[in-house]
Amino acid sequence: MEIVRPQWKPPSNDIVSTLPLYRSAPALEVRLEDFELYAMDRLRVLKGISDGLSRGKKPEEMKNLVNDLWKVNMKHPQASEVFNKDVISHFVLRLVYCRTEDLRKWFLSMETALFRHRFRLLTADSQRALLAELGLPYKAVARAEFEVIKEKLVQVARSISQPIPSSDAIFYKVPFEEVPELVAGRRIFICKGHAYVAMNQVVSLVVTQFRSLLSKALILTNRKWTSMIREQEKDRLTPIVESLCSSYLGPDYSQPNEFAEISVKDIDLVAKSSFPLCMRHLFEKLREDHHLKHGGRMQLGLFLKGVGLKLDDALAFWKAEFSQKVGAERFDKEYAYSIRHNYGREGKRTDYTPYSCQKIISLTPSVGDHHGCPYRHFSEDNLRAALSRMGVNNGAVEDVMDKVRNRHYQLACTLTFEAIHGLSCDAGINHPNQYFSDSQKILKLKSHSSEQGESTAD
């Protein structure tokens, strides 16, 4: 792909599937801003799917979730460009996620889940067109063969609560290893090594092929990336590609919202009620040791800025703690500058943004450091103890630990939030400042409801 205006259109046939197979990168020009924005929009869809699957949503819930994610994020002001956005965003993210085995595995799973859902929404004619485009060597079962095995097909349909095959039903005869998930679920009739796939089950066959094609393509893309593209594009695309997989896609928390304004006198109270575990741990260590290393100061300091601690209060807060360890004079000389710098009052005058969950999870704290994500970086015993101190009950702790073992660290934090506040958080926790803001909203609503109840009782 060249980087200015999309020109490519899907090929025109009698029946064209609106679902691309992404077999080769289109020969089109893409504007640099579209290159990144399209990829971020698709990434929101894939991360939404990942979150839904990790939370164990049911098939109907996933169907509605994917529909909503696609409609919100993959739309385009020009209807004619929706297809191009789909193709461009896929190939950009293929470049982003080809670079390590873990990235490839995640991208492959999420793109396959998205493809499966979109294929099911196609008309029967479009599904058959896609089968033809895949070039699969399978033909519909002849009428004579269908009549011979019809009773067996009816028995299978009844056993899985599917509609009884009519006389004009279409079945494909394929090697059974081509549809492993249907075989594993005992949802298909097998005879002499062949599986008879109903039209409403063809998605399994197509998805297997799609996954195989994409898996091979990711390996080839990785080779091109490491041998050529990364160096050639080091001053233009490489920084974008290497940062996209850890991009924060939520609201901007560089400025406090209406629920997030705190002063030094309030900080201990709100730390206990509304700080996420990562920030609560840093805060407690600061109170205990009267010192934090640079990584901890940055993570906690920017968080406090985001929740509304003004610069003067921030200087007073950090000085009160550090002075007990290093003295007031040394604090003014060595530490005050960096606090003013975070608030955009020194250096380049940049207004620095609080760290997102993804950035915190990606950090690698050393011995003596306290920053990072506790769900990732704590030992199991330390994490259990920390959750218990936060007031998380034993049942919820086990649920949290289950997510941690599967490396779903943000979901673990979400479950912690839900256990403490007694309410679900469907959007999930993606940012420490979101955790704080949502917590404050809930606590204020509960306080208001309690006051109304007392007023009614009076």
Q: What is the pLDDT of residues 442-453, one digit of tens each?
A: 998 888 776 666
Give per-residue pLDDT as tens, 301-334: 999 999 999 999 999 999 999 999 999 999 999 9
Tokens of 319: 């000085």
Instruction: Give the pLDDT score at 115.
Output: 96
pLDDT digits (tens, 9 = 90+) for 278-288: 999 999 999 99
Matching residue, tokens 């033909």: 139
**Confidence tier at 2 by pLDDT (50, 70, 90):** very low
The mean predicted confidence, pLDDT, of the chain is 88
Report helix, strand or coil for 269.
helix
How many C-beta atoms surround the C-beta of residue 284 within 10 A?
16
Q: In this structure, how many other beta carbons lie within 10 angstroms of the beta carbon of residue 212?
A: 11
Least confident of 4-13, 78-87, 143-152, 320-329: 4-13
Instruction: Identify the pLDDT of residue 201.
Output: 86
Please state the φ and ψ torsions of residue 318, each to the nearest 5 degrees. -70, -35
* Residue 54, pLDDT score: 82
pLDDT for the residue numbered 235: 86
More confident residue, 17 or 229: 229
Which pLDDT score, from 0 to 100, does residue 1 have? 53
State the average pLDDT over residues 43-62.
Answer: 89
Q: Give the percent of the chain with pLDDT over 70.
A: 91
Domains along the chain with CATH numbers: 32-132+209-245 (1.20.930.80), 133-206 (no CATH), 264-447 (no CATH)
Strand, coil or helix: 250: coil
Assess contact for 403 and 54: CB atoms under 8 A.
yes
> What span, in angstroms and rounded, lies between the C-alpha atoms of 183 and 49?
25
pLDDT digits (tens, 9 = 90+) for 334-379: 999 999 998 888 877 667 889 999 889 989 999 899 999 999 999 9
Q: Which of 42, 50, 39, 62 is nearest to 106 (CA)?
A: 50
Burial class (CB in 10 A: 0-12, 13-18, 19+), 375: buried
